[in-house]
């Protein structure tokens, strides 16, 4: 039998496209609640191997991500069959969604959002988490090999002192957090990730008002991607693994390492910073979580 060469120029996943003449169609698996999944328009902002960002006109960033990445407020999970995201779009291209069909570029690829699952963050209970759970998670975070990288960054030393936040008043909290905005390495600076974790914990504890007035101002002082991380977190809109970790603080302690691991996977330092922020937030919101000698800034 003779062999023929592989297709060179075509994407093999060239199956039933609803738009004639288009390149290829990919069904989306799930969509976050942060924007209207039936209609939006914007421009492709940045493209990576396993994700791309779309700058929605006059609004926020939305992300297309590979299916193994977690659900998040403005994320669309889509399976490209192993192809990298560079293969389906380039920065600067138009991205517009009409009646649930997202078209990238002119006569380009299509993401079908019509039957994607609508994901919403599931908030943890709004009561005080278990003290043992909080301590256990704190210990897990402090034992992370990446802790040093985080705390050695100028201005971020306080991130390791989640317990210290237990003794702060609302007035004292604000300048501490303000000093973290935009600080640290990463696409989302670790300082912002810390604030996001903290804000989420406060929101879930029904104490979001402490930060609500300040976050919009802080959001303007950082990167495009981070801006929305902060704004979303203020209303408890945060990536799925973070919600799950929050919920794990109310359950069996032995579930925590797995849940924490899932959050740690969110970027090099982002996950760790969010965990520490969450712990700090819960410590601030409730009494009795942190160990007595951890409390207070002097520690």
Partner 1 sequence: MTDLHKIFPNMYRDSVALMRLSAEATELPGIEMVSAIMATEANMALLAETGLLNGAPEAGPNDLLLVIQGADEAAISAAADYIENALNDAPKTAGDGGGPALPHSIETALGLAPAANLALISCPGAYAGAEAMKALRLGLDVMLFSDNVSLEDEVALKTLGDEMGRLVMGSDCGTAIINGVPLGFANVVRRGTIGLVAASGTGLQQVSCLIDALGGGISQAIGTGGRDLKSEVGGRAMIQGLRALAEDPGTEVIVLISKPPDVDVAKRVMELAAACGKPVIVNFLGGTGDAANLEEAAHLAVAAAKSETADLENLPRHSLDPDAVAKARAVLGAGQGCIRALYSGGTFAYECMLILEPLLGTVWSTLPINPDGLLDDPWQSRGHTVIDLGDDIFTRGRPHPMIDHRMRGERILQEAADAETAVILLDLVLGYGSHEDPASEMAAAIGEARDIAEAAGRWVHFVGFVCGTDNDPQNASRQAEMLSDAGVLLTASNAQAARLAADIVGDGP
Partner 2 sequence: MSSDLFRADLTVVNVGLGNFADAIDGSGGTVVRTDWRPPAGGDADAAIAVAALINDAGIDAANEIAFAKYLAAQPVLQGVGRAGDSLPGMGERTITHSGPPVAWDEMCGPVKGAIIGAILYEGWAADEAAAGSLADSGEVDFAPCHHLNAVGPMAGIVSPSMPVWIVKNSDAGNMSYCTLNEGLGRVLRFGAYDGEVIERLKWIEEVLAKVMGAALDGLGGIDIKTIMAQALHMGDEVHNRNAAATSLLIKALIPPALRSGLDQSDIAAAIEFIAGNDHFFLNISMAGCKSMLDAAHGVTSSTMVTAMSRNGVEFGIRVSGAGDRWFTAEAPVVDGLYFPGYSMADAAPDLGDSAITETAGLGGFAMAASPAIVQFVGGTPADAILRSREMQQITLGRNPALTLPALNFAGTAAGIDVRQVADQSVLPIINTGIAHKNAGVGQIGAGITHAPMQCFAKAVRWLANNRAAS
CB 191 within 8 A of CB 184: yes
Does the protein bind partner 1 through residue 86 (CB under 8 A)? no
Does the protein bind partner 2 through residue 17 (CB under 8 A)? yes
Q: Going by C-beta distance under 8 Å and a sequence separation of 6 or more, which residues neighbour residue 278?
A: 197, 198, 200, 201, 242, 245, 246
Residue whose CB is less far from partner 2, 8 or 213:
8
d(CA 278, CA 246): 8
Q: Applying CB under 8 A, which of residues 33, 41, 146, 183 lies at the interface with partner 2?
A: 41
In the complex, what is the shortest distance from the CB of residue 16 to partner 2, in angstroms, rounded to a whole number?
Answer: 4
DSSP 185: S
d(CA 259, CA 170): 29
- Phi/psi at 27 (nearest 5 deg)? -75, 135
Residue whose CB is less far from partner 1, 42 or 184:
42
d(CA 284, CA 172): 11
Q: Helix, strand, coil proportions of the chain in percent (round to 5)? A: 40, 15, 45
Residue whose CB is less far from partner 2, 56 or 133:
56
In the complex, what is the shortest distance from the CB of residue 99 to partner 1, in angstroms, rounded to a whole number?
Answer: 3
Residue 145: exposed, middle, or buried by beta-carbon count in 10 A (0-12, 13-18, 19+)? exposed
Residue whose CB is less far from partner 2, 4 or 254:
4
> Phi-psi bin for 237: left (phi > 0), alpha (psi -120 to 50), beta?
beta
In the complex, what is the shortest distance from the CB of residue 39 to partner 2, in angstroms, rounded to a whole number?
Answer: 7
Q: Going by C-beta distance under 8 Å and a sequence separation of 6 or more, which residues neighbour residue 298?
A: none
Using the rule CB under 8 A, give the single segment among 79-87, 108-116, 198-206, 232-240 that binds partner 2.
108-116
User: Residues 216 to 245: which contact partner 1 by CB under 8 A?
Assistant: none
User: Residues 129 to 158: which contact partner 2 by CB under 8 A?
Assistant: none
Site string for partner 2, 78-107 (x = CB under 8 A): ---------------------xxx------
Residue whose CB is less far from partner 1, 23 or 75:
23
Please tell me the count of residues contacting partner 1 according to CB under 8 A: 20
Residue numbers at the binding site for partner 1 (CB under 8 A)? 19-22, 38-39, 41, 94-101, 103-107
Residue numbers at the binding site for partner 2 (CB under 8 A)? 1-4, 7-12, 14-18, 20-21, 25, 36, 39, 41, 57-58, 99-101, 112, 114-115
């Amino acid at each position: 039998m003779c062999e023929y060469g592989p297709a060179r120029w075509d994407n093999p996943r060239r199956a039933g496209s609803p738009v004639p003449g288009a390149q290829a169609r990919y069904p989306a698996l799930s969509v976050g609640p942060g924007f209207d999944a039936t209609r939006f328009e914007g421009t492709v902002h940045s493209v990576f191997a396993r994700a791309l960002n779309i700058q929605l006109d006059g609004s926020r960033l939305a992300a297309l991500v590979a299916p193994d990445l977690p659900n998040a407020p403005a994320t669309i999970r889509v399976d490209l069959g192993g192809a990298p995201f560079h293969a389906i779009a380039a920065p600067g291209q138009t991205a517009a969604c009409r009646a649930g069909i997202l078209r990238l570029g002119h006569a380009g690829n299509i993401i079908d959002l019509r039957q994607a699952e609508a994901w919403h963050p599931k908030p943890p209970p709004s009561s005080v988490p278990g003290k043992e759970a909080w301590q256990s998670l704190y210990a897990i975070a402090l034992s992370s090999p990446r802790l040093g990288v985080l705390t050695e960054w100028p201005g971020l030393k306080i991130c390791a002192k989640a317990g210290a936040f237990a003794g702060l008043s609302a007035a004292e909290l604000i300048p501490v957090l303000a000093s973290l905005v935009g600080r640290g390495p990463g696409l989302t600076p670790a300082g912002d990730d810390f604030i996001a974790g903290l804000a989420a914990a406060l929101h879930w504890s029904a104490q979001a008002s402490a930060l609500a007035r300040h976050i919009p101002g802080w959001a303007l002082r950082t990167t495009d991607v981070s801006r929305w991380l902060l704004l979303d977190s203020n209303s408890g809109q945060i990536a799925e693994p973070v919600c799950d970790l929050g919920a794990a603080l109310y359950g069996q302690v032995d579930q925590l390492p797995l849940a924490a691991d899932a959050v740690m996977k969110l970027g090099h330092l982002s996950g760790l910073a969010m965990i520490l922020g969450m712990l700090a937030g819960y410590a601030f919101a409730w009494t009795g979580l942190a160990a007595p000698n951890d409390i207070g800034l002097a520690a």
